[in-house]
A and B are shown apart, each in its own frame.
Chain A
Amino acid sequence: MLKTLVQQIRQYKKASLLTMFFAMLEVFMEIAIPLLMASIIDNGIAKGNLSHVYLYGVIMLLTACVSLSCGYLAGKFAATASTGFAANLRDAMYVNIQTFSFANIDKYSTPGLVTRLTTDVTNVQNAYQMIIRMCIRAPFSLILALIMAISISPQISMVFAVAIVFLTICLGTIIYKAMPVFNSVFKKYDDLNASVQENITGIRVVKSFVREEHENTKFETAVENLYKMFVKAESYLSFNNPAMMAAMYGCILAISWFGANFIVKGRLTTGELTSLFTYVMSILMSLMMLSMAFVMITISMASAKRIAEVIQEKADLVSPDNAIDTVEDGRVEFHHVNFSYKKDSRNYVLSDINFAVKSGETIGIIGGTGSAKSSLVNLISRLYDVSEGSVFVGGKDVREYDLETLRNQVAVVLQKNELFSGTILENLRWGNEHATEEECIAACKAACADEFIERFPRKYHTYIEQGGSNVSGGQKQRLCIARALLKNPKVLILDDSTSAVDTATDANIRRAFLEQIPGTTKFIIAQRVSSIQEADRIIVMDNGKIDAIGTHEELVANNDIYREIYEGQTKGGGDFDEN
């Protein structure tokens, strides 16, 4: 998992290494400065030697300048490296998501992906910055300070060893105790947010049943529990500071005592003693930073895992080698197709589908919700792969085609369709980026979208808001049809794409199809019999199986399901669908 992430550092390796380098240099300066300070006091002020103070003062200023530059550069490079790394992670995820098949997409929810691309990346970015700034620097400064201390007095340095052991045990225990509590706190926290979410989306239910008080009590209990757990977790952490202080003060006291003894015996100078005191700080601070970094890395691990998951997700549909890049014509054939959304499941959504369609035919598909109409057509443009059997387009198995070729030649207007923010023209050109304005208008005329577009003040340059929220459902559907028409496909699939369009317009659109794209094979899924009754043939789906195939008249005469639907819609089952 970490390997996947580390690979994404790419061009920011240099900046990362430079950060570590300058952070290390900074440590040298940090060690040097107390020495200089000690020298100013011992050899300068204490001895009344002002020129020594000047000299070392200037040296110290210079050192401060160098240290500042190092700190500056380390900070800059750290920012470049960590934000660059974050950008690479987002890029890698996004690029990989683009290769996802429908099955891959179904696996992740939109908010889930958004969180991975934003919050999770930010967590990793912060942790990474911490690592490159601290994880080299802190151990390095720890070791350096220890070496300096040992070089002054190996015996007294034993005090540090005791302090380090003490602090490591303390911090270790705190982390060990607090981490599991924190993990369950965050879980509870997620649950709490989920219940808030529930209340926001279900507010009408809450208010209708006058359950505000009930919800408040529920929420208060949950918050109270969360509070208790948080307090428990954080009260472990409140030992952090005192432990640190205890270690520091212990060191000071011990060094004072042993130092005094050593000085009396003439084995230590007062200046050296002062330096030792300085190293107390840098040694303990380094330990503290390491423990902080450790906690942060642990917390960001969950995010890292989620990111790696997306980057590593393998698209399960890819173009084959030596892919065919032309589709001969609009013939479509299903050969004993079984299909299940879950791999290796024998619980088929579609079973034993068998039929052949000639180029240019119009095929209607009808059936109840859950009868797998959409699943059927999704196999034609290879949005999913069949579990068994095969689907042929233009006489070739769809798995032999280059995916882009296939999908350009088999245009699908999805049931749950989307427009994107941008002008109408920009949206239409998704179908064909080189389409001229005239071609776009022609497509819109065929899809009966021209009439309402012309009524917009800015016509084809009207800006569509995100999700197409500023056009009505019927208008959106017509734009989506026009967009698909611009592909000039050999097969056109309309998956319940005119449900929000009134019957007259619906008929006009179908008439335009007949006149303008007679050679294109058309599949029309519909709820309304009127939308498909003039089709060359109609497939009646029931529970994942083809119940019957035939013309309207044949089916009315011979097929129970079809007749039931037909009669339901004409005699007493009329549909006041939105016009």
Chain B
Amino acid sequence: MKTNSNMKNQSSDGMKQILKMLFQDYKWHLLFVIIGILGSALATVKGTLFIQTLIDDYIIPLTTAESPDFGPLLQALTKIACIYLIGIICAYMYNRIMVNVGQGTMKKVRIRLFTHMESLPIKYFDTHAHGDIMSVYTNDTDTLRQFIGISLPQLLNSFISIVSVFISMVMLNIPLTILTVAMVVIMLVSTRVIAGKSGKYFGKQQADLGAVNGYIEEMMSGQKVVKVFCHEEESIAQFRKKNEELRASAEKANGYANILMPVIVQLGNVSYVFCAIAGGILALNGYTGLTIGALISFLTLNKSFNQPFGQISQQINSVIMAQAGINRIFEVLNETPEVDEGYVTLVNAKKAEDGTLTESDHHTGIWAWKHFHKADNTTTYTELRGDIVFEDVDFGYTDEKMVLHNINLYAHEGQKIAFVGSTGAGKTTITNLINRFYDIQRGTIRYDGINIGKIQKADLRSSLGIVLQDTHLFTGTVMDNIRYGRLDATDEECMAAAKLANADKFIEHLPDGYDTMLSGDGASLSQGQRQLLAIARAAVADPPVLILDEATSSIDTRTEELVQRGMDQLMKGRTTFVIAHRLSTVKNSDCIMVLEQGHIIERGSHDDLIAEKGKYYQLYTGGMQEN
């Protein structure tokens, strides 16, 4: 039980927030739901009580009467039929409204989760396993759906039944009510004990399931290695051990969960017997004014009172599971989103004859940084050129450990800067700083002379085009994927971009050309084709600055040539940062930076660096020297 109450303490937060959300958004809905539940519960109670009055007030007089008159009975039945009808309508009403409440809340939670996720910094995605984030959307929202859709109405219903039956009981006889309540307390205690045990084993079951899951994942992804080493037997033996543990804990957890219901029901029967005996003694001796008819009604109420506790006990496990799920949902919702203190924005601009810039309300082809200076309350415009400067930049993913040290570099408009070095030298990290996926610890990065910290992130990023090593495409047509670069691009512009990237040839060979649907991250395309699409996507965005991160890495030589030509086209007239390990990509750069362990150890043009006979020379001739 201890674990259970601990869990409750930690988790009441998420639960509270969900309930708050429910009651705020669906005040009126819930009011009607409660009215509906009340109506249907009252109809049920009324119905049970009617059975007794039926016998006492109608049937028994009928049997004793000389000439039986069924009129009053018919009247009474019509009356009760009306009540039943109201009950049924109420039941439909609350069930139907609850659908909207439940699904509406689900919708809201999903949208909140998603929009919040989109606002989180890259760091969040780099430090959380993607499977874990996914599981919030699938497993955890599923438990929430169960909770809102099934458990919550059940609990509400049970609660209202309990209250209304309780009031009827009190009105009939107080001592018997006390006895009934005492028995319910015993039921609740047993529920706590059993649910506590089953909760404990459910916890263990989840942990064991996690272990099995992890093991399967590891072995399945290494299955080919298992085959090559004929390691099947050992792998099975290990799996069996974990599987058996899971079976044992699942058996215990389910076992306890299964016996909960019979225990509650039979305790209810015991309660009935006790009430019958106690009531019999009271009624026959005339104590507390209990009549036999009232006792019979009370016994019926006793049954209706015990029943909802059985229902509640059934919902306990799903509530516990929902709590854990809701907590994980709020864990994501409580992550701090990416902060943006930038105030410099990118605007369309017109250039006057004297070279001064003014803001324009339509697309002019010229862009300018709109920079508002607080100090003297003036606004200046700087033309977007694509000039990037790093000054003494230090960076680390955590404050304790710097991975880039003292980086200085100047990339002037239209220049091509290349980064080379071994894995982990910090090449990709540098490009992550330009678009502010990560923020630097020391130094400054300037874009057209403006500290990038002052530029709004959205504007900064839209002025940079990035082609990454792992190309990600989205579900949609080929055209949609190219247009991702600029949403208002026309079909013609997209096709022109595809042509520029050399992607048009393969696209035209696809079954539906530009309208071919891609799904599963463009799984139907080859790596090279995906990369060409990514280049077309960057081309349609038409940014002044390009970052190409190993954009041609795992492509065979022929495709590479094609991709390379596409990229060369794209790079014309733009400031470009290139990370590559193929020399052909790097050689004609204006400046090559050689990185080692976060330091720029050499810089210069290809010829300079070769002449220098340093690390670059070594890397370049390395293959040959060893032999």
What's the least CB distance linking A321 to chain B, in Å? 19
Selected contact of B254 from candidates A83, A210, A241, CB within 8 Å: A83
| A289 vs B235: C-alpha distance when bound (angstroms) | 42
B276 near A40 (CB under 8 angstroms)?
A: yes
Q: How many residues of B contact A (CB 8 A)?
A: 156
Q: Is there a chain A Cβ closer than 8 Å to B299's Cβ?
A: yes
**Across-interface contacts of B73 in A (CB, < 8 A):** 256-257, 260
Q: A200-B133, A241-B95, A472-B423 are in contact. List 10 more A-B contacts (CB 8 A).
A: A48-B292, A67-B262, A75-B258, A105-B227, A212-B119, A223-B114, A246-B88, A264-B59, A528-B623, A575-B623
Given A194-B475, A207-B437; A45-B521 close (CB under 8 Å):
no
What's the least CB distance linking B266 to chain A, in Å? 4
Stretch from A331-339, A352-360, A404-412 contacting the other chain:
A404-412
Q: Mark A83-97, 1 if CB is under 8 A from B, else 0.
A: 110110011001101
Given A26-B262, A369-B555; A118-B216 close (CB under 8 Å):
yes
Selected contact of B266 from candidates A68, A416, A467, CB within 8 Å: A68
**Across-interface contacts of A249 in B (CB, < 8 A):** 47, 81, 84, 87-88
B259 near A576 (CB under 8 angstroms)?
A: no
Q: Is there a chain B Cβ closer than 8 Å to A139's Cβ?
A: no
Q: Is there a chain A Cβ closer than 8 Å to B461's Cβ?
A: yes
> B136: nearest residue on chain A (CB-CB)?
A196
Stretch from A144-152, A229-237, A301-309, A392-400 contacting the other chain:
A229-237
The main secondary structure of chain B at its interface with chain A is: helix
> A252: nearest residue on chain B (CB-CB)?
B47
Given A466-B214, A529-B623; A209-B255 close (CB under 8 Å):
no
| A235 vs B519: C-alpha distance when bound (angstroms) | 32
**Across-interface contacts of B244 in A (CB, < 8 A):** 87
Given A26-B262, A238-B95, A277-B51; A572-B584 close (CB under 8 Å):
yes
**Across-interface contacts of B292 in A (CB, < 8 A):** 45-46, 48
**Across-interface contacts of B422 in A (CB, < 8 A):** 576, 578-579
Q: Is there a chain A Cβ closer than 8 Å to B273's Cβ?
A: yes
**Across-interface contacts of A381 in B (CB, < 8 A):** 228
B280 near A245 (CB under 8 angstroms)?
A: no
Interface residues on A, range: 35 or more
Q: Mark A370-412, 1 if CB is under 8 A from B, else 0.
A: 1100000000010100000000000000000001100110011
B226 near A98 (CB under 8 angstroms)?
A: yes
Q: Is there a chain A Cβ closer than 8 Å to B335's Cβ?
A: no
A80 near B255 (CB under 8 angstroms)?
A: yes
Q: Mark B579-601, 1 if CB is under 8 A from A, else 0.
A: 01111101100000000000000
A201 near B130 (CB under 8 angstroms)?
A: yes
B111 near A94 (CB under 8 angstroms)?
A: no
Q: Is there a chain B Cβ closer than 8 Å to A550's Cβ?
A: no
**Across-interface contacts of A214 in B (CB, < 8 A):** 487
Q: Is there a chain A Cβ closer than 8 Å to B453's Cβ?
A: no
Contact residues, A319-365 vs B (CB, 8 A):
none
Q: Is there a chain B Cβ closer than 8 Å to A60's Cβ?
A: yes
| A195 vs B261: C-alpha distance when bound (angstroms) | 41
Given A33-B269, A204-B437, A239-B92; A467-B59 close (CB under 8 Å):
no
Q: Is there a chain A Cβ closer than 8 Å to B439's Cβ?
A: no
B137 near A418 (CB under 8 angstroms)?
A: no
**Across-interface contacts of B107 in A (CB, < 8 A):** 223-224, 226-227
What's the least CB distance linking A87 to chain B, in Å? 4
Q: Mark A509-546, 1 if CB is under 8 A from B, else 0.
A: 00000000000000000001110011000000000000
Selected contact of B247 from candidates A86, A234, A500, A504, CB within 8 Å: A86
| A171 vs B584: C-alpha distance when bound (angstroms) | 71
Stretch from B12-20, B98-106, B356-364, B496-504 contacting the other chain:
B98-106
Q: Is there a chain A Cβ closer than 8 Å to B333's Cβ?
A: no
Selected contact of B235 from candidates A98, A256, A404, A569, CB within 8 Å: A98
A-B contact pairs, 6 of them (CB 8 A): A40-B273, A83-B250, A200-B134, A260-B70, A273-B55, A418-B224
Given A99-B232, A242-B95, A249-B87; A576-B583 close (CB under 8 Å):
yes
Q: Is there a chain A Cβ closer than 8 Å to B8's Cβ?
A: no
**Across-interface contacts of A256 in B (CB, < 8 A):** 50-51, 54, 73, 77
Q: Mark B283-298, 1 if CB is under 8 A from A, else 0.
A: 1100000001001100
Q: Is there a chain A Cβ closer than 8 Å to B619's Cβ?
A: yes
B229 near A574 (CB under 8 angstroms)?
A: no
Stretch from B24-32, B60-68, B444-452 contacting the other chain:
B60-68
What's the least CB distance linking A166 to chain B, in Å? 13
Contact residues, A563-579 vs B (CB, 8 A):
565, 568-570, 572-579
| A284 vs B281: C-alpha distance when bound (angstroms) | 35
Q: Is there a chain B Cβ closer than 8 Å to A169's Cβ?
A: no
A219 near B239 (CB under 8 angstroms)?
A: no
Q: How many A-B residue pairs lie within 8 Å, measured between CB atoms?
A: 423
A110 near B134 (CB under 8 angstroms)?
A: no
| A504 vs B283: C-alpha distance when bound (angstroms) | 102
A274 near B266 (CB under 8 angstroms)?
A: no
Q: Is there a chain B Cβ closer than 8 Å to A28's Cβ?
A: no
Given A252-B47, A260-B54, A414-B228; A60-B220 close (CB under 8 Å):
no
| A504 vs B618: C-alpha distance when bound (angstroms) | 12
A202 near B474 (CB under 8 angstroms)?
A: yes
Q: Is there a chain A Cβ closer than 8 Å to B223's Cβ?
A: yes
A253 near B80 (CB under 8 angstroms)?
A: yes
> A430: nearest residue on chain B (CB-CB)?
B229
B296 near A41 (CB under 8 angstroms)?
A: yes
Q: Is there a chain B Cβ closer than 8 Å to A76's Cβ?
A: yes
> B277: nearest residue on chain A (CB-CB)?
A57
| A237 vs B96: C-alpha distance when bound (angstroms) | 9
A263 near B218 (CB under 8 angstroms)?
A: no
What's the least CB distance linking B143 to chain A, in Å? 13
A105 near B224 (CB under 8 angstroms)?
A: yes
Q: Is there a chain B Cβ closer than 8 Å to A31's Cβ?
A: no
The winner among B104, B221, B280, B464 for most chain A CB atoms within 10 A is B280
A264 near B62 (CB under 8 angstroms)?
A: yes
Q: Is there a chain B Cβ closer than 8 Å to A491's Cβ?
A: no
A263 near B95 (CB under 8 angstroms)?
A: no
Selected contact of A98 from candidates B62, B89, B232, B541, CB within 8 Å: B232
Contact residues, B117-166 vs A (CB, 8 A):
117-119, 122, 125, 130, 133-134, 137-138, 149
Q: Is there a chain A Cβ closer than 8 Å to B429's Cβ?
A: no
> A81: nearest residue on chain B (CB-CB)?
B251
Selected contact of A575 from candidates B137, B235, B468, B582, CB within 8 Å: B582
> B463: nearest residue on chain A (CB-CB)?
A210
**Across-interface contacts of A76 in B (CB, < 8 A):** 255, 258-259
Q: Mark A58-78, 1 if CB is under 8 A from B, else 0.
A: 001101110110111011101
**Across-interface contacts of A54 in B (CB, < 8 A):** 277
B472 near A204 (CB under 8 angstroms)?
A: yes
**Across-interface contacts of A6 in B (CB, < 8 A):** none
Q: Is there a chain B Cβ closer than 8 Å to A463's Cβ?
A: no
B437 near A420 (CB under 8 angstroms)?
A: no
> B222: nearest residue on chain A (CB-CB)?
A418
Selected contact of B280 from candidates A45, A207, A529, CB within 8 Å: A45
A41 near B255 (CB under 8 angstroms)?
A: no
What's the least CB distance linking A494 to chain B, in Å? 12
**Across-interface contacts of B315 in A (CB, < 8 A):** none
